[in-house]
Amino acid sequence: MSRYWSPVVGTLSPYVPGEQPKLQDLVKLNTNEHPLGPSPKVLQAIRAACDDNLKLYPDPGSERLRQAVAANFGVQPDQVFVGNGSDEVLAHAFQALLKHDGPLLFPDITYSFYPVYCGLYQIAYQAVPLTEDFCIDVQDYLPSAGRQAGGIIFPNPNAPTGRALPLADIERVVAANPDIVVVVDEAYVDFGAESAAGLVSRYDNLLVVHTLSKSRSLAGLRVGFAIGSRVLIEALERVKNSFNSYPIDRLAEAGAVAALEDTAYFERSRQAVMATRASLAARLEGLGFQVLPSAANFVFARHPGHDGAALAAALRERSIIVRHFKHPRIDQFLRITVGTEAQCTRLTDALKAIVAG
C-alpha cells in the first residue's frame, strides 16, 4: 500500500471483468456479449453523427436518449436517468440511494460488482443466501422483527445463475419496503424475464436499471439507464452532475437512440438468442450436465462427474473461453454465454470429447 493512496484504496477488492484473451481461432463465451451485431440502423446513425459537431460538448441531459427510453417503457422523460453503461448508473445509485443506516441486502451469489461498490462507498451490506436450487427467496427481503434494511438490490434475472423472479414476487418486495429503495438490475431481462419498469408509476421506491450492452448488442458503446420516480432520478442527477456532467457522448447517444427505435431488429435478435439457448441447454443436458433454468443470454451448468475448473481449463486448451467462478457454492459451475449456433456446436463437441475422455 503506497503512502500516496487514500485510506479506502487499500481496503478495496476491485471487480474483475471477464477475460479478453487474444487467442487464435477463439470462441469467446465468457462475457455475455450478444452473438449478433447491432442493428444496421445503429451503425448508420453513428456514421451520420461523425461530423463537425464533434467539436461541441454533447447534451448534458441526453434529452433525445431519455425520450427514446421513455417512449419504449411508457414513462415520462424526467423519470429516466442515463449513464455511461449500467455499471456507472448502478454506482451512482449506490452512492445516491443505497447508503443508509441499515445494511444493504443482496443475494450471496449475484453480480460481483455489488460488494465492490459497497467497499468503495463504505456501505454496510448483508449477503442473503440463495435457496438450495439457487433461487431468490422473496421472504428473505420482507421486513422482519429486529432488522431494518438500508436498501435492497438484486438482478432479475440473477447473474450468474440466470434464474428469474416472477413480477408478482418483485412487487411483493417493493410494496413491503416503502421506506427504502429497491433496485432491480435488469441487464438480462429481455431474454425471457418480465420487466418491473411498469411498476414505477405505483411505487416511488423502485428503481429499474437497464443496459444496451446485452439485448441491443452494444457492449462497446457503453450506455445504460434507470427508470424510476422523479425523486429517485433527481438524486441520481445530483450525483452525476457532481461527478461528470457529460457521460453520454454524441456518437453513443445517436447509436443508442437508433437501437431503441429499431424494435423489429431487437425482437428478431433476442428471439434468436433464446432459441439458441434452448438448443444449447438441451445438448448440454444430453452430455450429462445439470443446467439451471435461464432467462438470460447465458446458461449456468455443472457436470456431476467433472470438476468445473478442470472443464474450463480443458476448454481453454481448445481456444474456447467460458466463465468459472471460485465462490464455494458455485465453483463446480460454468457460466456459458449463448453464442452463435456454430460457436455452441464447437463448444458442445469439445465438451463431448472432454467428458468422454
pLDDT of 142-154, one tens digit each?
A: 998 667 899 999 9
pLDDT of residue 292 exceeding 70? yes
pLDDT of residue 25 exceeding 90? no
The domain spans of the chain are 18-37+264-356, 40-261
Say how many Å lie between the first and final Cα of the chain, rounded.
Answer: 46
pTM: 0.95
User: What are the C-alpha distances in Å from 150 to residues 16, 71, 145, 179, 227?
Assistant: 26, 32, 15, 9, 20
pLDDT of residue 22 exceeding 80? no
Contact status, residue 324 vs residue 312, Cβ threshold 8 Å? yes
> Distance between CA atoms of 254 and 251, rounded to whole angstroms?
5
pLDDT score at 357? 80
Residues facing 106 on adjacent strands: 127
pLDDT score at 20? 77
Residues facing 105 on adjacent strands: 126, 152
Average pLDDT over residues 81-101: 97
Q: For residue range 151-185, what is the model confidence (pLDDT) as tens digits?
A: 999 999 999 999 999 999 999 999 999 999 999 99
CATH of domain 18-37+264-356: 3.90.1150.10
Of residues 292, 342, 338, the one with CA closest to residue 29: 338
Q: Which residues does 39 contact at the CB level (< 8 Å), separation at least 6?
A: 216, 217, 258, 259, 262, 265, 266
Say if domain 40-261 classifies as CATH 3.40.640.10: yes
Percent of the chain with pLDDT over 70: 99
Residues facing 298 on adjacent strands: 337
The rounded mean pLDDT for the chain is 96
pLDDT of residue 37 exceeding 90? yes
pLDDT score at 145? 61
pLDDT score at 146? 67
In terms of DSSP bridges, do strands 298-302 and 333-337 run parallel, antiparallel, or are they unpaired? antiparallel
Secondary structure of the chain as H, E, C letters: CCCCCCHHHHHCCCCCCCCCCCCCCCEEECCCCCCCCCCHHHHHHHHHHCCHHHHCCCCCCCHHHHHHHHHHHCCCHHHEEEECCHHHHHHHHHHHHCCCCCCEEEECCCCCHHHHHHHHHCCCEEEECCCCCCCCCHHHHCCECCECCCEEEEECCCCCCCCCCCHHHHHHHHHHCCCCCEEEECCCHHHCCCCCHHHCCCCCCEEEEEECCCCCCCCCCCCEEEEECHHHHHHHHHHHCCCCCCCCCHHHHHHHHHHHHCHHHHHHHHHHHHHHHHHHHHHHHHCCCEECCCCCCEEEEECCCCCHHHHHHHHHHCCEEEEECCCCCCCCEEEEECCCHHHHHHHHHHHHHHHHC
pLDDT score at 71? 97
pLDDT band at residue 3 under the 50/70/90 scheme: confident
Of residues 298, 336, 300, 16, the one with CA closest to residue 130: 300
pLDDT of residue 253 exceeding 90? yes
| Greatest Cα-to-Cα distance within the chain, rounded to the nearest angstrom | 61
Same fold, 18-37+264-356 and 40-261: no
Contact status, residue 292 vs residue 134, Cβ threshold 8 Å? yes
